[in-house]
Structure 1
Amino acid sequence: MILTKLKRKTVEQTTNAFINGLKDHQVRSLTLDNGTENRDHQKITKELGVGVYFCHPYHSWEKGTNEHGNGLVRRYLPRKTELEYVTQEDIDDISWELNNRPRKILGFSTAFEMLELEYSKQQLQVNVAFDYRV
Structure 2
Amino acid sequence: MDNLINLLSPLPWHARQSLTFDRGLEFVSWRELEKGLGAQAWFCDPQAPWQKPTVENTNRRVRRWLPRDTILLAIEQKELLGLAQRMNATPRKCLGYRTPAEVFREELAKTSGVQ
Greater relative contact order (Cα < 8 A, sep 6+): 1
Q: CA deviation at 1:103?
A: 0.9
- TM-score, length-scaled by structure 1: 0.71
Separation (CA, whole Å) in 2 of partners of 1:68 and 1:35: 17
Q: How does 1:1-134 map to 2 (within 5 A)?
A: 15-25=1-11, 26-121=15-110, 122-123=112-113
Separation (CA, whole Å) in 2 of partners of 1:104 and 1:95: 18
Separation (CA, whole Å) in 2 of partners of 1:74 and 1:94: 11
Separation (CA, whole Å) in 2 of partners of 1:87 and 1:65: 25
- Structure 1 residue runs of 4 or more that deviate by more than 4 Å after TM superposition: none
- TM-score, length-scaled by structure 2: 0.80
RMSD across aligned positions (CA) = 1.9
Q: Which segment drifts farther, 48-57 or 115-124?
A: 115-124
Give ranges in structure 1 of 5+ residues lacking alignment.
1-14, 125-134
Query: What percent of counterpart residues are identical?
Result: 35
Q: CA deviation at 1:82?
A: 4.0
Counterpart in the other structure of 1:127: none
Q: CA deviation at 1:84?
A: 4.2
Query: Which one has a bigger Cα radius of gyration?
Result: 1
Give ranges in structure 2 of 5+ residues lacking alignment.
none
Q: CA deviation at 1:93?
A: 0.6
